[in-house]
Structure 1
Amino acid sequence: MSTATTPSAPPAPSVPTPTSGRRGGGARRLLSSIGGQNLSLIGALALVVVLFTSLNANFLSWDNIQVIGEAATIAGLLAVVQTVVIICGGLDISVGSQTGLASVVSAMVFTAAGSSAPLGIGTALLMGALVGLVNGAVIIYGRVNPTIATLAGLAAYKGVAQLISDGRAQGYVLGDPVFVFLSRGRIAGLPVMIWILALVAVAVHILLTYTDIGRNIYALGGNDTAARLAGINLNKYLLSAYALTGVVAALAGVLLTARTGSGQPVSGSEGLELQAITAAALGGCALKGGKGTIGGTLLAVALLGALQNGLTVQGINTFWQNVAQGLLLVTAVVIQQRRNRDRAIGLPA
């Protein structure tokens, strides 16, 4: 006769202590929120800072940090709006020429209107919006590739700036308190130009991250067919993106006028389009569209600004600085291609 046996109770599951996993999980969440691309930029920026600080003890001084920030402001503004355009699936190579044209217009209107800074600045901003709308209209209604359309704009706007200024600097604005405030003023110990970049960047970040407009912009760049089927007015968003780019490029032109004291048709604006595109690409923008952040772009702007300042202080020829920018742009695109596992052109998959 068999006796009944009482089944043994299963072992009690181990209960994690209240603190177990929190530290690791919190660190992982923090790293995930920062993103691998941004971590790479932070690491590169740290290496640049360590390198140039070892060569020059004043590199990390507060005064030099402000110098880097002011010098990077104009390119930073263009990089922020270039990020928006790239997320839309477009590109704007004409931003440097737009900046030079706005610089000339702001100074010439200021002089013609009897030293009226509001009129000069307002006219430049209005012209920037118009130029941006022209770019967008050519791309949308002319069905021209954004690269070709804005490449034409690069030449055209530069030519217009040289024609109306006769190829020379125009006006003198440093006697005006508004332009002096823009170029030399400080708020809470920081230069006004840095505050302007910060305000524009925060506004665009909020637009892209927390609004339906931003979500539609990402959708447009990610898959324009799906976006159109979802009822998104693609033309309206593209026109708005290029108009915004024109306005901010004009604002950069006004700041260029304030910094140099006169309207500059070419000097100070040439090459800005390369800096803006490089910063956006380094910051994680997918050149096919649909991906990018303002935070990543600003980190890339800081990296480029620190690198340029360090090379200048060390007396490195500016030609080598251009080489460094080109190499950084190629490196950023190569990294993107590898991460996305895109097929190499002309080679088997």
Structure 2
Amino acid sequence: MTRPGPTTSDTATAPPAPAKPLASSGRSWLDVRNLSLLGVLAALIAVGGITKPDQFLDTGNLQLVLTQASVIGVVTVGMTFVITSGGIDLSVGAIVALASVWATTVATQEYGFAGVLFTAVLVGTACGLVNGVLIAYGRLVPFIATLAMLAAARGLALQITEGRTQLVTVDAVLDLGLPDAYVLGIPPLVLVFAVVTVVGWLLLNRTTFGRRTVAVGGNAEAARLAGIDVRRQRLHLYLLSGLCCGIAAFLLIVLSGSGQNTNGNLYELDAIAAAIIGGTLLTGGRGTVVGSVLGVLVFTTITNIFALNNLQSDVQQIAKGAIIVVAVLVQRRTAHDD
């Protein structure tokens, strides 16, 4: 006796096969990108080890690479949040310069370590507040508002220093850059960078603030209709970016032992580039702190290898530009596939 086949009604009521969640495909894409960046970083380390084995693999040089990455890395963490929300901040380098020179004036240094640290963080956060108010409540385009801050902060930094370098005389600040201050061979600046990275990752991936940031970047109008105060969220994001600039300014003061109006030159381009190659979408709606940090390490390692091999800086910039173009093209292709 033959078994009857399915009837029309049975076929009509059969449940469809479950679809793969969209979020999982995006997460796997980020994992693949992070693994790719780790591969690139490993390849660069191999190149450095082959071309200059005695110098590149020296413990002091590796500590230097991580220390240099710490300053721009802290800025990049803040930039990652801004770009994820669909914004941009062209003023981060100028804010670092202004915060560093304001914190190293003679009047500020009279208050010692606390005065230098507090001033750097306060100036950075204040600049972020101005950016946030202009963009969120003044409804200025982020490009224009932060470009204006770039010009104003650079001009004010030049006015404060009168074109001169301001040397740090506070021993407690200078001592942080000495080997005696290292913790298990790790410079204090690197530890600060690690803490900022962990806090940034938790904030973006494990809090309501992070989910709101992604929502605003994905579709600001839909986020508003869902009950998110988009203007307040944007204000907080630029405050966060300014805070990171203030912390980076203090780290730069420790690293260089001075404050200069030229500090933070092109930091905005390096931070944006690192975030992009790390997997943060320039159009907003997707961001990764881990990817951004890996992007910073890739660029810092490239700079170090070029310096050790006495290669021209223009070749270095060309290499960075090529990496950025490739990263954006891969981004667009992957976004289209999603």
Normalising by structure 1, we get a TM-score of: 0.84
| Pairing 1:280–2:272 present | no
> Which of residues 203, 206, 209 is equivalent to 2:205?
209
Instruction: Tell me by how many angstroms 1:325 deviates.
Output: 2.1
The runs of at least 4 consecutive aligned structure 1 residues that moved more than 3 Å come to 31-34, 110-113
Identity %: 37
> Which of residues 315, 323, 326 is equivalent to 1:328?
323
The answer to whether the Cα contact below 8 Å between 1:182 and 1:255 also exists between their aligned partners in 2 is: no
The answer to whether the Cα contact below 8 Å between 1:111 and 1:171 also exists between their aligned partners in 2 is: no
| Pairing 1:80–2:77 present | yes
| Pairing 1:176–2:171 present | yes
Larger Rg: 1
Equivalence for 1:258: 254
Matched residue type, 2:324? L
Equivalence for 1:316: 311
Instruction: Tell me by how many angstroms 1:156 deviates.
Output: 1.3
> Which of residues 225, 228, 247 is equivalent to 1:232?
228
Matched residue type, 1:117? F
Which is richer in helix? 2
Equivalence for 1:128: 124
Bigger mean CA deviation after superposition, 147-156 or 241-250: 147-156
What does the per-residue CA deviation read over 1:152-203, in whole Å, with 9 as the maximum and x for residues that have no partner? 2111111110011112112423x51234225652122200000000000100
The answer to whether the Cα contact below 8 Å between 1:128 and 1:248 also exists between their aligned partners in 2 is: yes
Instruction: Tell me by how many angstroms 1:310 deviates.
Output: 0.6
What does the per-residue CA deviation read over 1:60-114, in whole Å, with 9 as the maximum and x for residues that have no partner? 3333221110111111111111001111110111100000001101101x54552
Aligned residues: 312
Question: SS of 2:40's equivalent?
Answer: helix
Equivalence for 2:114: 118
| Pairing 1:101–2:98 present | yes
| Partner Cα distance (2:149, 2:298) in 1 | 28
What does the per-residue CA deviation read over 1:291-310, in whole Å, with 9 as the maximum and x for residues that have no partner? 11111111111111111111
Matched residue type, 2:104? A
Equivalence for 2:185: 189
Question: SS of 1:35's equivalent?
Answer: helix
| Partner Cα distance (1:91, 1:183) in 2 | 35
The answer to whether the Cα contact below 8 Å between 1:171 and 1:262 also exists between their aligned partners in 2 is: yes
Structure 2, unaligned runs of 5 or more: 4-24
| Pairing 1:90–2:87 present | yes
What does the per-residue CA deviation read over 1:307-337, in whole Å, with 9 as the maximum and x for residues that have no partner? 1111110001122222222222222212212
Structure 1, unaligned runs of 5 or more: 8-28, 343-349
Question: SS of 2:53's equivalent?
Answer: coil
